[in-house]
C-alpha cells in the first residue's frame, strides 16, 4: 500500500491548489451568464461525469470558463467504497479529463455506487470495518497513482448505520487519510445532516476528524422530513439555500482551520445565478473574518 511519503512521487507538486476563496458549482444554465459577466468568484467546480465525452457544448463552455477561472473536478461515479475493483474505463476517462483541463483539485466521495456492471445513481453508505478500510485504501491508492495527483475524499451524508461496523466514521476517515496521504473534502452540510440523523453532536464529530487534512469545504442545503418513528430526518438534496445551522457550523470550522476553498453546491431546484453568487459572497465574508 502506498504511504504518504511514497505518494510524494505522484503528488500534484506542479498543480496549484484552489484559492482560499468561495467558489460555485458550475451549472449549464449559467454558462452564458458567467462568460458575459465575469463574476468575481474564486473558482468553479464541475462533476467530472458530466464531461466524459469527447466534445459538445459542455466542453465548449467549460474550456472558455476554465481559461478565466481555477477549476475543481468532483467525481460522483468511481465507487471508491465498492466491493469490486474500480472500473478501469471510468478511471481512464477521468485521467483524460484531468489532462485536458488541468484542474486545481480532484475529489470523490466515501461511498459506493456500482455493483458489477450495474451503476446505481446514488452515493450509498459503507460498513466501517477493517475489510472495508483495506479496500477503500487500495482504491484511493489506485486513483492517486493513476491520476498522478493527491485526491480529496469527501465525508458522506448517511441515513443508516451498519451493525457490523467496528470503527467510528471519523476514525475510518482518519485512517484512510493516514494510510494513503489523501486529503479531506469537508462537507459541512454532510456533517450536520448525518449527525442530526444519527443523533450525534456535530461539534464532537468535527473534533474527531483530521482537520489538518482539509483541502476544500462544501456547503449546501438540505430537505427535511420525519422517519417512521417521527424523528427528524434530513436529506442532503442540494436543492435549498444553506441552512443557518450549517453556516454556524462553518464558522466554527473556519475558526479551527483558517480560510479554505469553499464551494457552494446546488444541484436541484437550481436558482438564478445571482442567488448562488449571493451565497458565495456570504461564504467569502466568513472567510474574510479569519484571513490573516
> How many domains is the chain built from?
1
Give a yes or no: residue 2 inside a domain: no
CA distances 60 to 39, 46, 102, 204, Å, are 19, 14, 16, 45
Predicted confidence at residue 90, as pLDDT, reads 94
Give a yes or no: residue 177 inside a domain: yes
What's the pLDDT band for 211 if we cut at 50, 70, 90?
Answer: very high
Predicted confidence at residue 1, as pLDDT, reads 54
Nearest to 24 by CA among 238, 215, 255, 245: 238
Can you read off the three cell numbers belonging to residue 15?
A: 498543480
Strand bridging mode 223-226 / 232-235 = antiparallel
Predicted confidence at residue 253, as pLDDT, reads 98
CA–CA distance, 88 with 259 (Å, rounded to integer): 36
Please give the average per-residue pLDDT across 144-173, as a whole number. Answer: 94
Predicted confidence at residue 12, as pLDDT, reads 42
**Residue 53: exposed, middle, or buried by beta-carbon count in 10 A (0-12, 13-18, 19+)?**
exposed
pLDDT per residue as tens digits for the range 223-260: 999 888 888 899 999 999 999 999 999 999 999 999 99
What secondary structure letter does DSSP report for 158?
A: -
Taking each helix axis as running N to C, give the angle between helix 130-147 and helix 169-180, from 0 to 180 degrees, rounded to the nearest 10.
40
Instruction: Tell me the whole-structure pTM to 2 decimals.
Output: 0.93
Predicted confidence at residue 184, as pLDDT, reads 98
Residue 284 has pLDDT above 60, yes or no: yes
CA–CA distance, 155 with 125 (Å, rounded to integer): 11
pLDDT per residue as tens digits for the range 67-102: 999 999 999 999 999 999 999 999 999 999 999 999
Neighbours of 62 (CB within 10 A): 21
What's the pLDDT band for 9 if we cut at 50, 70, 90?
Answer: very low
Neighbours of 70 (CB within 10 A): 20
Give the 3-state secondary structure of residue 6: helix
What secondary structure letter does DSSP report for 28?
A: G
Please give the average per-residue pLDDT across 164-176, as a whole number. Answer: 96
Say if CB 164 and CB 125 are below 8 A apart.
Answer: no
Strand bridging mode 22-25 / 44-47 = parallel
pLDDT per residue as tens digits for the range 214-225: 999 999 999 999
Predicted confidence at residue 188, as pLDDT, reads 98
What's the pLDDT band for 147 if we cut at 50, 70, 90?
Answer: very high
* Percent of the chain at pLDDT exceeding 90: 83
pLDDT per residue as tens digits for the range 13-44: 446 799 999 999 999 999 999 999 999 999 99
Nearest to 218 by CA among 152, 144, 285: 152
Nearest to 152 by CA among 125, 173, 129: 173
CA distances 2 to 21, 139, 140, 178, 185, Å, are 31, 11, 9, 10, 20
Give the 3-state secondary structure of residue 285: helix
Residue 4 has pLDDT above 70, yes or no: no
Please give the average per-residue pLDDT across 145-153, as a whole number. Answer: 97
Residue 3 has pLDDT above 60, yes or no: no
CA 21 to centroid of chain Cα atoms: 16
Q: What is the CATH number of the domain that holds 252?
A: 3.20.20.150
Query: Which range (7-11, 109-113, 147-151) has the least confidence?
Result: 7-11
Nearest to 261 by CA among 64, 105, 63: 105
Please give the average per-residue pLDDT across 122-127, as a whole number. Answer: 86
Predicted confidence at residue 15, as pLDDT, reads 60
Predicted confidence at residue 13, as pLDDT, reads 40
Give a yes or no: residue 218 inside a domain: yes
Give a yes or no: residue 12 inside a domain: no
Average pLDDT, the chain: 92
Residue 6 has pLDDT above 50, yes or no: no
Say if CB 81 and CB 155 are below 8 A apart.
Answer: no
Give a yes or no: residue 120 inside a domain: yes
Contacts of 189 (CB under 8 A, 6+ apart): 157, 218, 219, 220, 221, 222, 236, 242, 243, 246, 265
Predicted confidence at residue 161, as pLDDT, reads 86
Say if CB 195 and CB 202 are below 8 A apart.
Answer: yes
CA–CA distance, 181 with 2 (Å, rounded to integer): 8
Predicted confidence at residue 291, as pLDDT, reads 82
CA–CA distance, 28 with 205 (Å, rounded to integer): 35
Domain that holds residue 151: 17-286
Give a yes or no: residue 292 inside a domain: no
Give a yes or no: residue 42 inside a domain: yes
Give a yes or no: residue 291 inside a domain: no
Amino acid at each position: 500500500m502506498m504511504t504518504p511519503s511514497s505518494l510524494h512521487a505522484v503528488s500534484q507538486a506542479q498543480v496549484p491548489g484552489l484559492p482560499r476563496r468561495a467558489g460555485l458549482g458550475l451549472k449549464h444554465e449559467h454558462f452564458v451568464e458567467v462568460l458575459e459577466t465575469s463574476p468575481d468568484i474564486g473558482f468553479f467546480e464541475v462533476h467530472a461525469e458530466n464531461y466524459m465525452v469527447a466534445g459538445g457544448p459542455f466542453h465548449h463552455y467549460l474550456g472558455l470558463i476554465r481559461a478565466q477561472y481555477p477549476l475543481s473536478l468532483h467525481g460522483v461515479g468511481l465507487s471508491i467504497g465498492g466491493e469490486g475493483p474500480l472500473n478501469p474505463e471510468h478511471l481512464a476517462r477521468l485521467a483524460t479529463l484531468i489532462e485536458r483541463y488541468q484542474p486545481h483539485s480532484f475529489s470523490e466521495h466515501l461511498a459506493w455506487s456500482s455493483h458489477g456492471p450495474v451503476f446505481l445513481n446514488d452515493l450509498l453508505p459503507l460498513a466501517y470495518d477493517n475489510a472495508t478500510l483495506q479496500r477503500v485504501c487500495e482504491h484511493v491508492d489506485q486513483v492517486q497513482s493513476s491520476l498522478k495527483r493527491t485526491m480529496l475524499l469527501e465525508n458522506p451524508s448517511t441515513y443508516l448505520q451498519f451493525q457490523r461496523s467496528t470503527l467510528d466514521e471519523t476514525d475510518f476517515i482518519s485512517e484512510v487519510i493516514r494510510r494513503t496521504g489523501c486529503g479531506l473534502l469537508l462537507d459541512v452540510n454532510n456533517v450536520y445532516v448525518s449527525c442530526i440523523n444519527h443523533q450525534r453532536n456535530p461539534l464532537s464529530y468535527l473534533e474527531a476528524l483530521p482537520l489538518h487534512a482539509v483541502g476544500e469545504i462544501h456547503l449546501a442545503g438540505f430537505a427535511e422530513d420525519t422517519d417512521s418513528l417521527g424523528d427528524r430526518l434530513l436529506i442532503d438534496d442540494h436543492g435549498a439555500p444553506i441552512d443557518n445551522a450549517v453556516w454556524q457550523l462553518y464558522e466554527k470550522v473556519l475558526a479551527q482551520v483558517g480560510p479554505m476553498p469553499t464551494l457552494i453546491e446546488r444541484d436541484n431546484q437550481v436558482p438564478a445565478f445571482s442567488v448562488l453568487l449571493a451565497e458565495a459572497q456570504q461564504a467569502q465574508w466568513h472567510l474574510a473574518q479569519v484571513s490573516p
